[in-house]
Amino acid sequence: MLEDKTPNKTSLAELGEFGLINHLTQHFKCEQDSTEVGVGDDAAVIDNKDKKTLVTTDMLVEGIHFNLSYMPLKHLGYKAVMVNLSDIYAMNGTANQITVSIALSNRFPLEAIEELYAGIQLACNTYKVDLIGGDTTSSQKGLILSITAIGTANEEDIVYRNGAKENDLLVVTGDLGAAYLGLQVLERERQVFSANPNAQPDLDTYTYLVERQLKPEARKDLSGLLKELDVKPTSMIDISDGLSSEVIHLSKNSGVGCNVFEDKLPLDPQVISTCEEFNMNSTVVALNGGEDYEQLFTVAQSDFEKIKGNPNFSIIGHMTDKNEGVNLITRASQKMELTAQGWDALLKKEKE
């Protein structure tokens, strides 16, 4: 007889809630001086002394925010942490701790959740943040993952969304649109596999795009880069829902208008070639794709010399009088009103 090599799967019921928490968090070590008490008591204890505390949270729901047919659980755990750390960095802060809460259906064995937590732990180790608590519960449908990130910043260093002034320069880190195209590639391969389970995915030419979707990196480096240049942004926001949405947020919160220049949008060559393959407009993808987790910020014009030519930044526009509105200046020098067509979970649900 052939030996049964099917891996054993451990039911979560065998451990119970507290046994599961202890099992999943036993290898997490606290590295932050501010973490006085982490996992294991009724509440965590954090001592930030004279710094301001920053708190942000995001929830990811299976079938809405991720599809496990192509999103490995380890990658999901890593990405879920990045989603939250990016918000802390958008305040020009330092991320220090996270809490993790999950709701699970009985289709997930212990080994699957270990994979999820392996990704969370990798993110914690890479970005030097401590896991200090959370919650686990059951779900009748799939997996729900909620992470809260806690950070700190000196009061004088915090950057809000409402500080942009007329004539400020609009700046973005990295490049845009790759994460959205990575999702399109993965969705196409999923459909091919559904039609022919023997088909093998062909992702070699889309490595950068797929990585940007499955394993994004938050811009922890930005605060240091700006300090080296002696630049403090007047406003900032992370790019999670699409560039157009974030530009509109900054403009509305600051009470100014904005002109974004199409020919200044930073695009990776793989984005351009894949847009041609998929018959997509690269400008539309860059403006509305979302999930790039880059940072969008404004600086005074007097800082132009400090940031021009820096490979980490692209100056893509400037802020204007509020009455001018928020516009895209096309390559043909036409002015078009910029609308928010990026991700909106509530609108998506209503349309469904």
50's tokens: 């004279």
What does the angle CA 121 – CA 178 – CA 145 come to, to the nearest 5 degrees? 35
Question: Which regions of the chain carry the CATH code 3.90.650.10?
Answer: 169-342
pLDDT at 351 over 60: no
Please tell us whether the domain made up of 13-157 is placed in CATH 3.90.850.10.
no
Quick: pLDDT tens for 185-234.
Answer: 999 998 888 788 877 777 889 999 999 999 999 999 999 999 999 999 99
Give the number of other Cβ atoms within 10 Å of residue 198's Cβ: 5
Question: Which regions of the chain carry the CATH code 3.30.1330.10?
Answer: 13-157
* Integer Cα distance of 261 and 329 in angstroms: 5
CATH number of 169-342: 3.90.650.10
Quick: pLDDT tens for 150-178.
Answer: 999 898 998 999 999 999 999 999 999 99
Q: Are 102 and 145 in contact (CB under 8 A)?
A: yes
